[in-house]
Amino acid sequence: MSKTNLTRRGLLRSGAVAGAGVALPTIFTGSSVAAFTNEPTGSTVTLGFNVPQTGPYADEGADELRAYELAVEHLNGGGDGGMMNTFSSKALNGSGILGKKVQYVTGDTQTKSDAARASAKSMIEKDGAVMITGGSSSGVAVAVQALCQEAGVIFMAGLTHSNDTTGKDKRANGFRHFFNSYMSGAALAPILAKNYGTDRKAYHLTADYNWGYTTEEAIRNSTEAMGWETVAAVKTPLTQTDFSSYIAPVLQSGADVLVLNHYGGNMVNSLTNAVQFGLREKVVNGKNFEIVVPLYSRLMAKGAGANVKGIYGSTNWHWSLQDEGTKAFVKSFGTKYGFPPSQAAHTCYAQALLYADAVQRAGSFNPCAVAEALEGFEFDGMGNGKTLYRAEDHQCFKDVLVVRGKENPTSEFDLLEIVEITPVEQVTYDASIFGGQLGTCNPGA
Amino acid sequence: MFGLDKKDTMLLLLVAALTALAPFLLNPFPEGSAMAQFNAGYPDLMQRFVIFGIFAIGFNILFGLTGYLSFGHAAFLGVGSYAAVWMFKLLSMNVLPAIVLAVVMSGIFALLIGYVSLRRSGIYFSILTLAFAQMMFALAYSVLTPITGGETGLQLALDDPRILDGAVAANGNIPVPGLFGMEMRDSVQLELGAWVFTFNFGYYFSALVMLISFYIAIRIFRSPFGMMLRAIKANQQRLNYTGLNTRPYTLAAFVISGMYAGLAGALMASMDPLAGAERMFWTASGEVVLMTILGGVGTLIGPILGAGAIKYMENIISKINSDILHSWFAFLPDGLEDLLVTLVYPFIGKGWHLTLGIIFMLVVIFLPGGLVEGGQRIARLFKSKKTDRSAPKPQIEPGE
Amino acid sequence: MDAIILQILNGLDKGSAYALIALGLTLIFGTLGVVNFAHGALFMIGAFCAVTLSRILTLSHVVVDSTKTDFLGRPLEVQVPYVYDIFGEATGAAIIDWAVPLSILFAIPVMLMVGVAMERGLIKYFYKRPHADQILVTFGLAIVLQEIIKYFYGANPIPTPAPSAFTGSFDFGAILGFDPNTIIYPYWRLVYFAFAAVIIGAVFAFLQFTTFGMVVRAGMADRETVGLLGINIDRRFTIMFGLAAAVAGLAGVMYTPINSPNYHMGMDFLVLSFVVVVVGGMGSLPGAVLAGFLLGILESFASMREVIDLIPGINQVIIYLVAIVILLTRPRGLLGRKGVMED
**Band (B1; pLDDT cuts 50, 70, 90):** low
Residue C85 domain-assigned (yes or no): no
Q: Is residue B352's pLDDT more than 50?
A: yes
Residue A428 domain-assigned (yes or no): no
A353 shares its domain with A297: no
Q: Is residue C176's pLDDT more than 90?
A: no
Residue C281 domain-assigned (yes or no): yes
**Band (B159; pLDDT cuts 50, 70, 90):** confident
Residue C338 domain-assigned (yes or no): no
Residue B80 pLDDT: 94
Assess C189–A contact: CB distance below 8 Å, yes or no. Answer: yes
Rounded mean pLDDT of B149-171? 76
Cβ contacts below 8 Å, chain A against chain B, sum to 185
Interface test with A, best of C62, C71, C153, C264 (most A CBs within 10 A): C71
- Locate the chain C residue with the closest alpha carbon to B354: C144
A60 shares its domain with A156: yes
Rounded mean pLDDT of B191-195? 79
Residue C86 domain-assigned (yes or no): no
**Band (B58; pLDDT cuts 50, 70, 90):** very high
Rounded mean pLDDT of C85-99? 83
SS3 C314: helix
Mean pLDDT estimate for chain B: 85
Residue C264 pLDDT: 86
Distance from the Cα of B317 to chain C's closest Cα (Å) equals 15
Nearest to A267 by CA among A205, A316, A343: A205
- Contact assignment for B189 to A6 by CB distance below 8 Å: yes
Assess A26–B contact: CB distance below 8 Å, yes or no. Answer: yes
Residue A427 domain-assigned (yes or no): no
Residues of chain A above pLDDT 90, percent: 41
Which of C132, C144, C321 is closest, CB to CB, to B357?
Answer: C144
d(CA C279, CA C273): 10
Q: Which of residues 237-296 of C touch A (CB under 8 A)?
A: 257-260, 262, 264-265, 268-269
Assess B174–C contact: CB distance below 8 Å, yes or no. Answer: no
- Locate the chain A residue with the closest alpha carbon to C304: A246
Residue C342 pLDDT: 62
Rounded mean pLDDT of B275-300? 87
Q: What is the ipTM of this complex?
A: 0.88
Task: Give the total number of structural domains in chain C.
Answer: 1
A160 shares its domain with A233: no
Residues in chain B: 400
Q: Which of residues 93-152 of C touch A (CB under 8 A)?
A: 150
- Amino acid found at C147: E
Residue A4 pLDDT: 38
Chain A residues whose beta carbon lies within 8 Å of the beta carbon of residue C308: 234-235
Which of C143, C328, C332 is closest, CB to CB, to B357?
Answer: C143
* pTM for the predicted model, two decimal places: 0.88
In the structure, how many helices (H) and strands (E) does chain A have? 13, 18
Neighbours of chain A (3+ CB pairs under 8 A): B, C
Residue A370 domain-assigned (yes or no): yes
d(CA B351, CA B325): 13
Residue A131 domain-assigned (yes or no): yes
Dihedrals phi, psi of B12, to nearest 5 degrees: -65, -45
Q: Is residue B396's pLDDT more than 50?
A: no
Rounded mean pLDDT of B128-142? 91
Residue C257 domain-assigned (yes or no): yes
Nearest to B136 by CA among B288, B284, B281: B281
Chain B residues whose beta carbon lies within 8 Å of the beta carbon of residue A15: 32
B199/C201: higher pLDDT: C201
CATH number of residue A63's parent domain: 3.40.50.2300
A175 shares its domain with A241: no
Q: Is residue C34's pLDDT more than 90?
A: no
Domain boundary, last residue among A284, A315, A346:
A315
Residue C285 domain-assigned (yes or no): yes
Assess B343–C contact: CB distance below 8 Å, yes or no. Answer: no
A186 shares its domain with A174: no
Residue A441 domain-assigned (yes or no): no
- Amino acid found at A185: G
Q: Is residue C339's pLDDT more than 80?
A: no
H or E segment to which residue A142 belongs: helix A138-151
A140 shares its domain with A53: yes
Q: Is residue B260's pLDDT more than 90?
A: yes
Task: Give the total number of structural domains in chain A.
Answer: 2
Residue C36 pLDDT: 87
Residue A436 domain-assigned (yes or no): no
Specify which residues C250 forms β-bridges with.
none
Residue C30 domain-assigned (yes or no): yes
Burial of B175 (0-12, 13-18, 19+ CB in 10 A): buried
d(CA C194, CA C197): 5
Domain boundary, last residue among A277, A299, A315:
A315
Residue B67 pLDDT: 87
Residue-wise pLDDT tens digits, C21-32: 898 888 887 777
SS3 for B218-281 is HHHHHCHHHHHHHHHHHHHHHHHHCCCCCHHHHHHHHHHHHHHHHHHHHHHHHHCCEECHHHHC
Residue C282 domain-assigned (yes or no): yes
Burial of B7 (0-12, 13-18, 19+ CB in 10 A): exposed
A142 shares its domain with A38: yes
Tell me the CA distances in angstroms from B398 to B8, B302, B380, C286, C343, one per residue in order.
16, 12, 16, 38, 18
Residue A411 domain-assigned (yes or no): no
Nearest to B79 by CA among B157, B131, B154, B152: B154
- Locate the chain C residue with the closest alpha carbon to A233: C305
Cα angle vertex C325, ends C323, C326, to 5°?
65
Residue B400 pLDDT: 38
SS3 content of chain A, % helix, strand, coil (to 5): 40, 20, 40
Q: Is residue B150's pLDDT more than 90?
A: no
Distance from the Cα of B188 to chain A's closest Cα (Å) equals 5
Q: Which residues of chain A have pLDDT under 70?
A: 1-34, 445
A33 shares its domain with A109: yes
Q: Positive or negative, the Cα torsion across A119, A121, A123, A126? A: negative
A138 shares its domain with A36: yes
Neighbours of chain C (3+ CB pairs under 8 A): A, B
Residue A276 pLDDT: 85
Residues in chain C: 343
- Contact assignment for B357 to C274 by CB distance below 8 Å: no
Domain boundary, last residue among A280, A315, A350:
A315
Q: Is residue C144's pLDDT more than 60?
A: yes
DSSP assignment of B280-304, as one string? GSHHHHHHHHHHHHHH-TT-SSHHH
- Locate the chain B residue with the closest alpha carbon to A69: B323
CB atoms under 10 Å from CB of B246, counted, come to 18
Q: Is residue B394's pLDDT more than 60?
A: no
- Residue numbers of the domain that contains C258: 2-59+99-329
Residue-wise pLDDT tens digits, B7-19: 888 888 988 998 8
Rounded mean pLDDT of B153-171? 75
- Residue numbers of the domain that contains A128: 10-179+320-398
Rounded mean pLDDT of C250-268? 89
A61 shares its domain with A144: yes
Residue-wise pLDDT tens digits, B239-258: 888 888 888 999 999 999 99
Neighbours of chain B (3+ CB pairs under 8 A): A, C
Residue A230 domain-assigned (yes or no): yes
Assess B159–A contact: CB distance below 8 Å, yes or no. Answer: yes
- Collect all residues from C whose CB is shorter than 8 A from any CB in B: 35, 122, 125, 129, 131-133, 135-137, 139-144, 147-148, 151, 267, 271, 274-275, 278-279, 282, 312-313, 316-317, 319-321, 323-324, 327-328, 331-333, 341-343
A189 shares its domain with A276: yes
Tell me the CA distances in angstroms from B77 to A339, B74, B303, one per residue in order.
44, 5, 16
A27 shares its domain with A121: yes
